Amino acid sequence: MRPRRNSKLNRILLDANAGLPVREEALETFVRVSRDASGNPSSIHRAGRHAQAALENAREEVAGLLLCAARDIVFTSGATEANNLAILGLARAAERLSGMPIPLIASRAEHPAALAPLRVLQQQGFPLHLVNLDAHATADVDAMLGHASACVASLSVLQWANNETGVIQPIDALASHASDTHLWHCDAVQGIGKLDMNPSLWRATTLALSGHKFGAPKGIGVLRLSENAMLDPVQVGGGQQRSLRSGTESPALAASFAHALRLTMKEQSASAVHLKNMCKVFLAELKKLELPFRSNHCTEGGLPNTLNLSFPHLDGRMLIPACDADGLEVSAGAACSSGAALPSSVLVAAGLAPEAARASLRISLSPDLGESDAHEAAKRLGKLLRRMYEVAKR
């Protein structure tokens, strides 16, 4: 077999927003609990009770970190499921109780895992208002509040931070308006471990987290409920987790999630300083090469690890395969859609022409990279961009 080009280059992960490798400590916890608490947490016998104790310990630990009661933590398979449960569950419970579909209000910057359930509800008769974004993908929160104030009840959906541009959304304004009738679901996936915990988050009716974004294994997430949250289940069956999420729970995944969350929250402030510095190093190195690019990320006060760059006149479809061949693991937008030829809908909603959005890269650094990796990554990217510009000129 012919060797792949550059197969000897060490690979550099620049796609942390898509997910981090599992942390060694979290993996050890997963293996230990899988071995020691292998029963079904719903079984009455000793093995079942043991598994249930491990599961409830993990729930207590997560609740302690997220400042809520353990009963208000629902373990899910990830944030896609947590967003679905929150959005479909809150809207359907509100409709059941009031007899009317409530208005849904969301930003165009939301992840597909939030937008898709909103579209499902829209097809079922719920009015949906999607508000516009500025050039960094900041949601027009005044428009959101305007829509909410015009009705007696509503469900707003606004993420904490954007996965593509790294912008931090104006959640404080929405938090101060949240109530038992004006519900707010927050997709907090990208902020955890990168940003200081903002007390406004605790005012969200529901808050979604994903374990694999901060070093837990894939397949575990959490929906944190506020005390008075009323939601209908989406998945029904054996009635586990207060009937909100039927299905046998995994004590090992729950314990591993709790462990990774504790570590990531403890390390957050040092990690943010390090990530910010590496982004600086990366950009400074790239600028030295005097190649044309435009920054779509938030240059001040966004996620400390996230850069989003457009390269004018390049064929965007070639960018990611070229990076991959040179050992750079990047993406064009949300990881779940990065295989698609479509331009990022967030960048287009933020005002980029579809061609420019297509010729964009999201570079999201992970905390375990060092300065030399940031230098090397920028150099490699610069070299391959130069090659691509040469080809484009011909």
Catalytic residue among 68, 151, 279, 336: 336
Among 80, 138, 165, 250, binds ligand PLP (CB under 6 A): 80
Contact between 260 and ligand PLP by CB under 6 A: the answer reads no
DSSP letter at 67? T
Q: What burial class does residue 368 get, using C-beta atoms within 10 Å of its C-beta: 0-12 exposed, 13-18 middle, 19+ buried?
A: middle
Smallest gap from Cβ 41 to ligand PLP, in A, equals 22
Q: Compute the distance between CA of residue 259 and CA of residue 253 in angstroms, rounded to an integer.
A: 10
Task: Write the CB contacts of 51 (distance below 8 Å, at least 6 apart in sequence).
Answer: 37, 38, 39, 40, 41, 43, 251
Contact between 138 and ligand PLP by CB under 6 A: the answer reads no
For tokens 């409830």, the residue is 56
CA angle, 277 as apex, 334 and 279 as ends, to 5°? 35
Contact between 189 and ligand PLP by CB under 6 A: the answer reads yes
Smallest gap from Cβ 152 to ligand PLP, in A, equals 29
**Residue from 375, 350, 372, 373 nearest 360 by CA:** 350
Segment 141-160, which members bind ligand PLP (CB under 6 A)?
159
Among 145, 225, 334, 363, binds ligand PLP (CB under 6 A): 334
Contact between 221 and ligand PLP by CB under 6 A: the answer reads yes
CB 326 within 8 A of CB 380: yes
Contact between 79 and ligand PLP by CB under 6 A: the answer reads yes
User: How many CB atoms are located within 10 Å of the residue 369 CB?
Assistant: 20
Q: Alpha-carbon Rg of the chain, whole angstroms? A: 22
Cβ-closest residue to ligand PLP? Answer: 78
Q: Compute the distance between CA of residue 374 and CA of residue 279 in angstroms, rounded to an integer.
A: 8
Contact between 253 and ligand PLP by CB under 6 A: the answer reads no
Among 335, 348, 355, 368, binds ligand PLP (CB under 6 A): 335
Residue type, 6: N
Among 190, 241, 296, 344, binds ligand PLP (CB under 6 A): 190
Catalytic annotation on 336?
Answer: yes
Contact between 139 and ligand PLP by CB under 6 A: the answer reads no
Which region among 2-10, 66-74, 185-193, 225-233 touches ligand PLP (by CB under 6 A)?
185-193
**Interface residue list for ligand PLP (CB under 6 A):** 18, 78-80, 111, 113, 159, 163, 187, 189-190, 210, 221, 334-335
Catalytically active residues are 336
